[in-house]
């Protein structure tokens, strides 16, 4: 009798487990299928957009009307961005596609720049036309490779979820085992590798001066090279800690970034919980940023005291003529942005952020990389048009609440003098920039009001 009950219990257990297993399996299948369908869709969109890109580039090259050319270029730009977005959704993180991605980014930048010239713009120069032809040839190649791959995915038993699985195993490899990384094992990986290899065989067109470089390098800070001890001294002076009071500083790293810098770590006193870090540029010995990690108590100071603390800090550290341009409060601190002001003109490239702790108003952070790189006394030209003339260029539906002259930095690191108009439309604030030389409206920005207060 007891044995029969034991059998019964066992049989029930088997059935229950079987059902749970079956259920888990079918759910996993369902989830995998969903992911697979998403990947299929993303890939087919990449194929479609790269194909359309090649077509639009061709149209732009042959069209006789400037308007048509610009329309084709704008469409090409849209297709490029969509193709990039599709690539970002595929599980190909471990497959090297950097040439292809660089290509798409260059095409995006090129087509965007050319399509934005406006009705007054000139047609394509011979050089631009040649670049357009090169890019089109490359796009046609990419489209063909992708279509071929798409075909083999559709006809064969290739699944993106397999690519994903492979990518995950590759990603999980430890670096010492990387040498075992053999040839790509599935069709998708192989196809993408062929695309990438083919793309590397095309010469990169010379974009110098046509589009901003993809990876901009900050200009070097002028001045002599300093050593680690000098960096420690500069960092100590900047943070206000002194060796006499037990503060200890040491260079914990040299960072080969732009600009190259020493990272100084300061322990304010023996056994202190707080620490400070300062990045000091190797050339010129300028403080790029400072950060003090110390506990922040409940807020207790007034808003004006916060700004005054930041201003006093800048004045003490040799930053003259700084004007507040923004403020963002968060988590018991306030980050206040300042820009250099030269004869009433705001110089946006010379920009610093000062972080003030709202418990006692001490400055516990400073970010001034841009200021240190770009700051100089500029020889500002007189504006070619008056402020009233510039104001007439602003859309009359906006009500202008404030205006001033400002120096703006573009993607080529060129500085332009602009009239900056702060405008109101309903609840929205816009910043409108009118070129002070040509009177052209160069940019309209919507001021983001959440969390950031413009001054």
Partner 1 sequence: MSDGIGKFIAVITIVVIVVTVLWRVQSGRAFGDRLAYGKEEEDRLSYMAEVDLARPGQSYSYNLELMARVISAEAKGEPYLGQVAVGAVILNRLNHPHFPKTIPGVIFEPDAFTAVSTGHVWFPPESSSYRAAQDALSGWDPSGGAVYYYNPAKATNWWVATRSYIIQIGRHIFLR
- What's the burial of 427, exposed, middle or buried (CB within 10 Å: 0-12/13-18/19+)? exposed
Could you say whether residue 193 binds partner 1 (CB under 8 A)?
A: no
Could you say whether residue 314 binds partner 1 (CB under 8 A)?
A: no
Query: Strand 345-357 vs strand 399-409: parallel, antiparallel, or unpaired?
Result: parallel
Q: Residue 129 or residue 412: which is nearer to partner 1 going by CB?
A: 412
Could you say whether residue 331 binds partner 1 (CB under 8 A)?
A: yes
Could you say whether residue 302 binds partner 1 (CB under 8 A)?
A: no
Could you say whether residue 168 binds partner 1 (CB under 8 A)?
A: yes
Which of 287, 355, 375, 419 binds partner 1 (CB under 8 A)? It is 355
Could you say whether residue 356 binds partner 1 (CB under 8 A)?
A: no
Could you say whether residue 105 binds partner 1 (CB under 8 A)?
A: yes
Cα–Cα distance between 184 and 155 in angstroms, integer?
A: 20
Could you say whether residue 89 binds partner 1 (CB under 8 A)?
A: yes
Could you say whether residue 425 binds partner 1 (CB under 8 A)?
A: no
Sorted by sequence, the CB contacts under 8 Å of residue 362 that are 6+ apart come out as: 309, 356
Q: Closest Cα partner for 146 from 72, 74, 86?
A: 86
74 backbone dihedrals φ, ψ, rounded to 5°: -65, -40
Could you say whether residue 201 binds partner 1 (CB under 8 A)?
A: no
Lookup: tokens for 220? 């070097």
Q: How far is the CB of 18 from partner 1 (least distance, A)?
A: 9
Lookup: tokens for 362? 């001490």
For the chain, the first-to-last Cα distance in angstroms comes to 88
Which residue stretch of 67-75, 174-182, 382-390, 393-401 sits at the interface with partner 1 (rule: CB under 8 A)? 174-182
- Residue-level length of the chain: 455
The DSSP H or E segment spanning 314 is helix 303-316
Interface with partner 1 (CB under 8 A), residue total: 69
Cα–Cα distance between 61 and 124 in angstroms, integer?
A: 9
Could you say whether residue 31 binds partner 1 (CB under 8 A)?
A: no
Sorted by sequence, the CB contacts under 8 Å of residue 423 that are 6+ apart come out as: 394, 395, 398, 399, 400, 401, 429, 430, 431, 432
Which of 37, 68, 85, 424 binds partner 1 (CB under 8 A)? It is 85
Q: Residue 16 or residue 425: which is nearer to partner 1 going by CB?
A: 16
Which residue stretch of 92-100, 231-239, 243-251, 374-382 sits at the interface with partner 1 (rule: CB under 8 A)? 92-100
Q: Residue 188 or residue 405: which is nearer to partner 1 going by CB?
A: 188
Could you say whether residue 172 binds partner 1 (CB under 8 A)?
A: yes
Buried b (16+ CB within 10 A) or exposed e, 208-220: eebbeeeeeeeee
Alpha helices in 88-178 (DSSP H): 98-115, 126-155, 160-171
Which of 2, 64, 118, 175 binds partner 1 (CB under 8 A)? It is 175
The residues facing 405 across adjacent strands are 419
Q: Which 39-78 positions form the footprint of partner 1 (CB under 8 A)?
A: none
Q: Residue 8 or residue 395: which is nearer to partner 1 going by CB?
A: 8
Could you say whether residue 33 binds partner 1 (CB under 8 A)?
A: no
Q: Which 125-154 positions form the footprint of partner 1 (CB under 8 A)?
A: none
Which residue stretch of 53-61, 63-71, 123-131, 257-265 sits at the interface with partner 1 (rule: CB under 8 A)? 257-265
* In the block, residue with structure tokens 């001054």: 455
Sorted by sequence, the CB contacts under 8 Å of residue 391 that are 6+ apart come out as: 400, 403, 419, 421
Q: Give the interface with partner 1 as residue ranges (CB under 8 A).
A: 4, 7-8, 11-12, 15-16, 19, 23, 27, 81, 84-85, 88-94, 96-98, 101-102, 104-106, 164, 167-168, 170-175, 177-178, 181, 214-215, 253, 255-258, 261, 263, 277, 279, 289, 291, 293, 328, 330-333, 335, 353, 355, 365, 367, 369, 448, 450-452
């Amino acid at each position: 009798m007891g044995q029969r009950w034991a059998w019964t219990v066992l049989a029930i257990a088997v059935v229950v487990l079987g059902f749970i297993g079956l259920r888990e399996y079918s759910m996993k299948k369902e989830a995998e299928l969903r992911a697979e369908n998403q990947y299929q869709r993303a890939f087919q969109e990449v194929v479609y957009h790269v194909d359309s890109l090649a077509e639009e580039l061709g149209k732009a090259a042959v069209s006789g009307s400037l308007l048509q050319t610009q329309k084709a270029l704008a469409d090409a730009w849209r297709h490029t961005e969509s193709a990039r977005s599709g690539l970002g959704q595929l599980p190909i993180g471990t497959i090297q596609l950097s040439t292809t991605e660089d290509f798409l980014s260059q095409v995006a930048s090129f087509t965007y720049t050319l399509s934005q010239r406006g009705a007054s713009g000139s047609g394509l120069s011979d050089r631009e036309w040649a670049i357009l032809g090169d890019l089109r040839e490359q796009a046609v190649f990419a489209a063909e490779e992708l279509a071929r791959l798409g075909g083999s995915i559709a006809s064969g038993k290739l699944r993106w979820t397999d690519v994903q699985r492979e990518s995950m195993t590759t990603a999980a490899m430890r670096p010492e085992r990387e040498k075992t990384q053999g040839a790509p094992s599935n069709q998708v990986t192989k196809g993408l590798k062929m695309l990438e290899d083919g793309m590397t065989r095309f010469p990169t067109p010379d974009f110098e001066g046509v589009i901003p470089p993809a990876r901009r390098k900050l200009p070097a800070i002028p001045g002599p090279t300093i050593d680690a001890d000098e960096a420690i001294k500069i960092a100590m002076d900047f943070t206000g800690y002194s060796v006499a009071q037990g503060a200890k500083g040491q260079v914990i790293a040299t960072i080969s970034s732009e600009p190259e810098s020493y990272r100084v770590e300061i322990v304010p006193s023996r056994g202190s919980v707080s620490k400070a870090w300062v990045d000091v540029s190797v050339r010129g010995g300028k403080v790029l940023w400072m950060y003090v990690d110390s506990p922040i108590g409940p807020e207790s100071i007034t808003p004006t005291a916060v700004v005054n603390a930041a201003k006093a800090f800048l004045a003490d550290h040799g930053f003259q003529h700084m004007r507040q341009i923004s403020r963002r409060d968060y988590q018991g601190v306030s980050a206040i942005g300042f820009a250099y002001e030269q004869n009433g003109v705001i110089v946006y490239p010379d920009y610093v952020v000062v972080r003030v702790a709202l418990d006692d108003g001490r400055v516990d952070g400073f970010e001034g990389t841009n200021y240190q790189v770009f700051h100089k006394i500029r020889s500002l030209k007189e504006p070619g048009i008056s402020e009233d003339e510039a104001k007439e260029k602003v859309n009359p539906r906006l009500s202008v609440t404030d205006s001033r002259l400002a120096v703006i930095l573009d993607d080529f690191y060129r500085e332009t003098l602009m009239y900056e108009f702060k405008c109101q439309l309903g609840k929205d604030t816009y910043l409108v920039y009118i070129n002070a030389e040509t009177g052209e409206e160069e940019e309209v920005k919507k001021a983001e009001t959440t969390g950031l207060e413009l001054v």
